[in-house]
């Protein structure tokens, strides 16, 4: 009798577990279907670097790719097959392709319909412009370890070559590295290690895209080999540990870092050097390493007051805006996510969002739903449709479609209205580009 009860109990538990599992899988699939619809609503979305495409005629639905993806929400199972539900979330780990035992996944650049413009470089990462190198994600390959390795390789090639600052004058350098992400840091360390005179120019702060990761993000790095500094042998690190690593590198190697300078043009001086122009002036060097990443340059506010200190082009630390009246400008995912982050954190005197259209059309569904909730609750004030017409230290003025202007109290503006793609900037530097249409 006891045996029968135990067996019945075990069968009951098994049925319950299987029911719970199926419900969980069902809920996940529903979420995936929603994500696919959200992506479709956003139009043609091109991931900025290498990303997977799935051949459904080969996919057997094992789900190995879904489990392998370190970013978790890029691929999901829909109708028993793997689907790319969030191409923009892909950072190019490639773990999905490795995990798939049926060769159903290929890693490609661009899509068959819309190409992705990439710079043409040789095996040393030198472009068609002699002495100008492109390393890291700007060249199309994501991942921190690729960036670190490419930066070091470019520096080795420069060190082995003959292009040097003529006359050894203090005003001309051997190398200027632009962009202080992992690729630029590594290239600068390589140049320092080779005894070259080098400067590292960065528009924001030391660390690159990593500074924009969500707090406490677990980052898959693999071993990172930095010239001059040594090897960091960790498979994963938190965002904060990586930021500490950059600071340690800076302290131990005297990294020649110049921040707050946006490089705008690159011109051949005609004497074996390049003129690098930024918002702060001109510098010259025999070699230039461009490690700009693929985020591009943010579009500016386009109204009087756009150069005020209170105007920001991203939201790194929402806490900074405690007790402030903050206005986010823009209607895409980045702007909406900033407004959501500020409202969810609480503590701002007010959070507003100004957008030139009547609704957040080109935005993911989850962001649309959340911002609508926050606006309905009065935790975010929507100024739609409006355009910013001027800003000063304490206020910002918004013009509506009917021409009326409302001036509101304001301590900070976060502008997220898109930007210039890195391809445009590279073309203006005379760098030859190639367009990849879903090619491996």
Ligand X SMILES: Cc1cc2nc3c(=O)[nH]c(=O)nc-3n(C[C@H](O)[C@H](O)[C@H](O)COP(=O)(O)OP(=O)(O)OC[C@H]3O[C@@H](n4cnc5c(N)ncnc54)[C@H](O)[C@@H]3O)c2cc1C
Cβ neighbours of 68 (radius 10 Å): 17
Q: How far apart are CA 273 and CA 172, in angstroms?
A: 8
Q: Which is nearer to ligand X, 29 or 366 (CB)?
A: 366
Pattern 271-300, binding to ligand X, x per CB under 6 A?
A: --------------------xxx-x-x---
Q: Are 438 and 114 in contact (CB under 8 A)?
A: no
User: What is each CA distance from 166 to 28, 83, 127, 362, in whole angstroms?
Assistant: 62, 55, 22, 51
Among 47, 94, 142, 305, binds ligand X (CB under 6 A): 142
Of how many residues is the chain composed?
440
**426: contact with ligand X by CB under 6 A:** no
Among 52, 87, 119, 136, binds ligand X (CB under 6 A): 136
CB of 362 to ligand X, least distance (A): 19
**262: contact with ligand X by CB under 6 A:** yes
**143: contact with ligand X by CB under 6 A:** yes
Please spell the DSSP secondary structure of 181-200, one letter per residue.
SHHHHHHHHHHHHTT--EEE
Nearest to 298 by CA among 309, 313, 283, 315: 313
CB of 339 to ligand X, least distance (A): 19
**91: contact with ligand X by CB under 6 A:** yes
Stretch that binds ligand X, among 58-66, 133-141, 365-373, 426-434 (CB under 6 A): 133-141
Q: How far apart are CA 183 and CA 205, in angstroms?
A: 14
Q: How far apart are CA 40 and CA 85, in angstroms?
A: 10
Pattern 159-188, binding to ligand X, x per CB under 6 A?
A: -------------------xxxxxxx----
CB of 122 to ligand X, least distance (A): 18
Pattern 191-220, binding to ligand X, x per CB under 6 A?
A: ----------xxxx---xxx--x-----xx
Q: How far apart are CA 376 and CA 385, in angstroms?
A: 17
Q: How far apart are CA 180 and CA 205, in angstroms?
A: 7
* Residues at the site binding ligand X, with contacts judged by CB under 6 A: 70, 91, 136-138, 142-145, 147, 178-184, 201-204, 208-210, 213, 219-221, 262-263, 291-293, 295, 297
């Amino acid at each position: 009798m006891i045996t029968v009860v135990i067996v019945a109990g075990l069968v009951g538990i098994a049925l319950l577990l299987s029911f719970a599992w199926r419900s969980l899988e069902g809920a996940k699939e529903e979420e995936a279907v929603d994500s696919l619809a959200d992506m479709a609503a956003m139009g043609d979305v091109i991931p900025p670097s290498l990303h997977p495409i799935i051949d459904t005629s080969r996919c057997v639905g094992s789900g190995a790719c879904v489990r392998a993806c370190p970013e978790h929400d890029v691929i999901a199972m829909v109708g028993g097959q793997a689907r790319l539900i969030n191409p923009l979330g892909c950072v190019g780990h490639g773990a999905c392709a490795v995990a798939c035992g049926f060769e159903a996944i290929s890693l490609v650049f661009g899509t068959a319909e819309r190409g992705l413009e990439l710079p043409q470089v040789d095996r040393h990462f030198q472009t068609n412009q002699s002495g100008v190198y492109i390393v890291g994600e700007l060249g199309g390959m994501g991942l921190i370890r690729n960036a670190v390795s490419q930066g070091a390789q470019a520096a080795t090639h420069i060190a082995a070559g003959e292009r040097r600052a003529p006359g050894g004058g203090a005003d001309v350098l051997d190398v200027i590295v632009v962009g202080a992400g992992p690729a630029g840091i590594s290239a600068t360390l390589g140049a320092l290690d080779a005894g070259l005179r080098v400067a590292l120019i960065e528009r924001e702060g030391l660390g690159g895209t990593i500074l924009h990761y969500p707090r406490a993000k677990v980052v898959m790095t693999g071993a990172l080999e930095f010239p001059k500094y040594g090897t960091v042998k960790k498979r994963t690190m938190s965002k904060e540990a990586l930021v500490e690593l950059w600071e340690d590198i800076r302290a131990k190697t005297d990294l020649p870092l110049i921040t707050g300078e946006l490089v705008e043009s690159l011109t051949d001086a005609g004497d074996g050097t390049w003129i690098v122009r930024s918002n702060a002036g001109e510098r010259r060097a025999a070699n230039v390493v461009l490690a700009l990443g693929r985020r591009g340059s943010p579009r500016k506010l386009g109204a009087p007051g756009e150069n005020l200190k209170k105007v920001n082009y991203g939201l790194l630390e929402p806490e900074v805006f405690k007790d402030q009246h903050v206005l986010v400008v823009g209607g895409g995912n980045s702007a909406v996510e900033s407004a959501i982050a500020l409202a969810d954190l609480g503590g701002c005197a007010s959070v507003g969002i100004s957008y030139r259209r009547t609704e957040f059309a080109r935005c993911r569904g989850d962001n649309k739903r959340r911002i609508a909730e926050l606006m309905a609750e009065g935790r975010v004030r929507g100024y739609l449709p409006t355009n910013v017409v001027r800003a000063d230290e304490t206020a910002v003025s918004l013009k509506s479609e009917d021409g009326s202007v409302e001036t509101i109290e304001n301590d900070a503006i976060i502008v997220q209205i898109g930007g210039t793609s890195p391809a445009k900037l590279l073309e203006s530097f005379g760098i030859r580009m190639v367009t990849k249409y879903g090619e491996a």
